[in-house]
Amino acid sequence: MLHVIPLGGLGEIGLNAMVIACRGEMLLIDCGLMFPPIGTLGVDIILPDFRYLRQNASLLKGILLTHGHEDHVGALPFLLNEVPVPVYGTRFTLGLVRHRLHELGVDADLREIEPRNPFPVGAHFKVEATRVTHTVPDAVGYVVHTPEGPVIHTGDFKLDPDPIDGLRTDLERWGELGEQGVLCLLSDSTNSERTHETGSERLVEQTFERLFHDVRGRIVVSMFASHLHRIHHVLDLARKLERKVVTMGRSLIRNIEMARELGFLPSVTDGLFVPLEDAASLPPERLLVLATGSQAEPRAGLSQLAAGDGPLRLGPGDLVVLSARAIPGNERAVSGLIDQLLWRGARVVYPDLEPGVHVSGHASQPQQRRVLDLIRPKNFVPIHGELHHLHRHLATAKESGLSPEQLLLAQDGDLLVFEEGRGRFSGSVPTGRIYQDRFGQGVVTPDILQERTRIAETGILVAVLVIERASLSLLAGPQLSGQGLNLDEQVLLPRVAEDARAFFLEMSPQLRGDDARVREELAKAVRRAFKLYTSKRPVVVPMVLKV
C-alpha cells in the first residue's frame, strides 16, 4: 500500500510539497513557499503547515528537490530546522539552496545526484531523477520506484526541442517507464489552460539578436535572476556585440557567480563585467545592463533605473527589455514601471508588445497531452496549480483516453492510497498555510491580518485617561492621538476629546472602579464624539492609567 499526500501546490501556485509514503517510510518531493498577494500586510512569505511531517518526523527519510525556484525549495530551511533529514538535488539546485541555508544559519546534509543515476532513499524507495527543461538549469523530475510500482513526478517542465543548454526533457526515459507500466503520474498543471504550444527558448534568443542589433544606446535586459539559460545567452550576445556588462541586483550577481563556479557559464570571463560605478563613463553603445526587477519590485535594479537613482541615467536611444511576464497581481505595478521608463525617453519592449522577449517554462495543453499519451499511467494526479488549472489538466487526461477511475483530482491534505494498481481517496491529513515575515519569524494569524487591515483602512485613535487611584477622580484626559487619519479627521481631535470628556463625570463611583468598564465607556464616548463630525469609524484604543 502506497500513500501519496500533497501538502501544498494542489490548489495554489507555490507551496509545492508532495509526500510519498510506504511501509513506514516517507519521502518528500519539494519544499516550496509562496509569496503573499499584495495587501497581505506585513507578511513576506507563506509556508506550508508542516505539522504532518513534524508528527511523523522519524519516518521521513529524505527530501528530493526538483529545481531551485523558491516555490519548490523556499520552505526547506524552516522544515530542516525542525526535521533534519538528507536533501537530494542536482548540482545547481543544491548551489542555490546552500546559499539560502547558510544565510539563515541552517545546517543540512545535502546530497548531489544526477539524472538517470538511481539511489536508495530509506529501505523501500529507489529514486531516479529525470532531466527536464525549465527556466532554471539542472531541473529534474523524479521517478520513485516503490513496492507498488513506479511513480513519476514531472517537477516543473516544458518541452523544448532545442533548449539553450541542449538538455531536453527526457521523454525517452518516461516512454520506457510507460511501456513497463507506471502506477501514477504526477504532472505539472501550470499552463493547462493554454492551448498554444509553449515556445522554445530559441525564440527569445532570436528576438534578442534582432532587437539588440541596431541599438546605438545602452541595452538593459531584466529577467528573473535564476533564469541562467537566458542570462547565459545575453552574456554571449554582449560579448559578440562588444558590450561590457553591468549586473544590477544582488540575487543576479550571486547567481552568476555561483553558476560560473559550478561551470554553468563556460564562455563567460571576468573581463566581460564592469562595476556599476564605471558604467556611466562607458560609451552607451558599449554597455549592456542585466537587471533584476521585471516584476517592479521596489528596490530592484530596473526600478532604480526607472526612478533615475544611481549613476546610470537612461534616455533616448537606450533600449529596455522586460524579459518576463507580470506575475498575477503585479500587472499594475509593472505597467507603471514601463511608463516610468518610457517617460525617461527609453524604448521599452515587453511581452505584450513583442511576445518573443519571453517564453514560458511550463508545458501547455497539447504538450501535457503528449506526456500523458507517452506514459499512459494507471493513475493520474494533476499537480502544481490552482484548482482550475488542475481541473483543466484532468480534462486533458480524459481526452487522452484515461477513464474516470484513473483520474484523481486531489487537493492539499488529501490522502491518496494506491493498492494493486488503483488509487483512491482515504481521508486527509492536517495542512494549511503559515504566514511569516521573511526571517520565518512572527506567526501572523488571519485575526491579526484583519486587525491590521482595519487599522490601515480607517486609521487608529488612541484615547488615554488618567485616574486618581484613591478618589477615582479624573486627573487628565481623554488625551487623543491619531495615526493614519485623514486630514479632515486630524483637525477634529481636540473637539472630539472635549466632547468625550463628559462620559467619565457621568459614571457612578462603583463603575469608575471597574477598569474594563471604564475602558469600554471611554472607547464608546470617543467613537460617539467622532461620529458627530464624520462618517468614518477609526479603530479606537482606550487606555486607562491609575496614579
Annotated binding site for Zn(2+): 67, 69, 71-72, 134, 156, 384
- Residues 88-147 touching its own copies, rule: CB under 8 A, are none
- Indicate the residue among 36 and 141 with the shorter CB distance to its own copies: 36
Report angle CA 74, 77, 81 to the nearest 5 degrees.
150
User: Residue 180: which residues within 8 A CB-CB, separation 6 or more?
Assistant: 150
| C-alpha cell read off for 440 | 520565518
- Among 182-190, 285-293, 367-375, 382-390, the segment contacting its own copies (CB under 8 A): 382-390
Q: Is 236 in the site for its own copies (CB under 8 A)?
A: no
188 noted as active-site residue? yes
Q: Are 27 and 19 in contact (CB under 8 A)?
A: yes
CA distance 442 to 436: 6
Q: How far is the CB of 107 from its own copies (least distance, A)?
A: 21
- Indicate the residue among 56 and 400 with the shorter CB distance to its own copies: 400
- Indicate the residue among 12 and 170 with the shorter CB distance to its own copies: 12
| C-alpha cell read off for 512 | 469608575
CA dihedral of residues 185, 188, 193, 195 (deg, nearest 10): -80
Q: Is 484 in the site for its own copies (CB under 8 A)?
A: yes
Q: Is 444 in the site for its own copies (CB under 8 A)?
A: yes
Where helices occur in 104-248 by DSSP H, the ranges are 171-180, 201-213, 228-240
Q: Choose, from 49, 138, 170, 188, the residue flagged as catalytic.
A: 188
Closest CA to 228 of 197, 253, 192: 253
Binding region for substrate: 225-227, 358-362
Q: Is 451 in the site for its own copies (CB under 8 A)?
A: yes
Q: Is 470 in the site for its own copies (CB under 8 A)?
A: no
**Which of 49, 170, 188, 489 touches its own copies (CB under 8 A)?**
489
Q: Is 511 in the site for its own copies (CB under 8 A)?
A: no
Q: How far is the CB of 140 from its own copies (least distance, A)?
A: 28
- Among 197-205, 256-264, 373-381, 438-446, the segment contacting its own copies (CB under 8 A): 438-446
Q: Is 495 in the site for its own copies (CB under 8 A)?
A: no
**Which of 241, 407, 472, 541 touches its own copies (CB under 8 A)?**
541
Q: How far is the CB of 18 from its own copies (least distance, A)?
A: 19
- Residues 323-342 touching its own copies, rule: CB under 8 A, are 328-329, 331-333, 335-336, 338-339, 342
**Which of 392, 393, 433, 512 touches its own copies (CB under 8 A)?**
392
Helix (H) or strand (E) holding 308: none
Give the up-direction half-sphere exposure of residue 405: CA atoms within 13 A in the CB hemisphere.
5
Q: Choose, from 229, 233, 362, 393, the residue flagged as catalytic.
A: 362
- Among 33-41, 124-132, 173-181, 308-316, the segment contacting its own copies (CB under 8 A): 33-41
124 noted as active-site residue? no
Q: How far is the CB of 522 from its own copies (least distance, A)?
A: 13
Q: Are 382 and 397 in contact (CB under 8 A)?
A: yes
Q: Would you tell me the crossing angle of helices 365-375 and 387-399 to the nearest 10 degrees?
A: 50
Q: Is 472 in the site for its own copies (CB under 8 A)?
A: no
- Residues 140-199 touching its own copies, rule: CB under 8 A, are 193
Report angle CA 535, 540, 543 to the nearest 5 degrees.
155
- Sign of the CA dihedral with 34 first, then 37, 38, and 44 last: negative
CA distance 299 to 315: 20
Q: How far is the CB of 257 from its own copies (least distance, A)?
A: 27
- Indicate the residue among 360 and 534 with the shorter CB distance to its own copies: 534
Q: Is 546 in the site for its own copies (CB under 8 A)?
A: yes
Q: Is 425 in the site for its own copies (CB under 8 A)?
A: no
The one-letter code for the residue type at 165 is: D
Q: From the centroid of its chain, how far is CA 300?
A: 16
- Indicate the residue among 56 and 534 with the shorter CB distance to its own copies: 534
Q: Is 241 in the site for its own copies (CB under 8 A)?
A: no
Binding region: 42, 44, 67, 69, 71-72, 134, 156, 225-227, 358-362, 384, 437
Q: Report CA-CA distances (Å) from 536 to 3, 160, 492, 527, 539.
A: 54, 56, 12, 10, 10
CA distance 172 to 165: 18
Closest CA to 371 of 155, 79, 91: 155
- Residues forming the active site: 188, 362
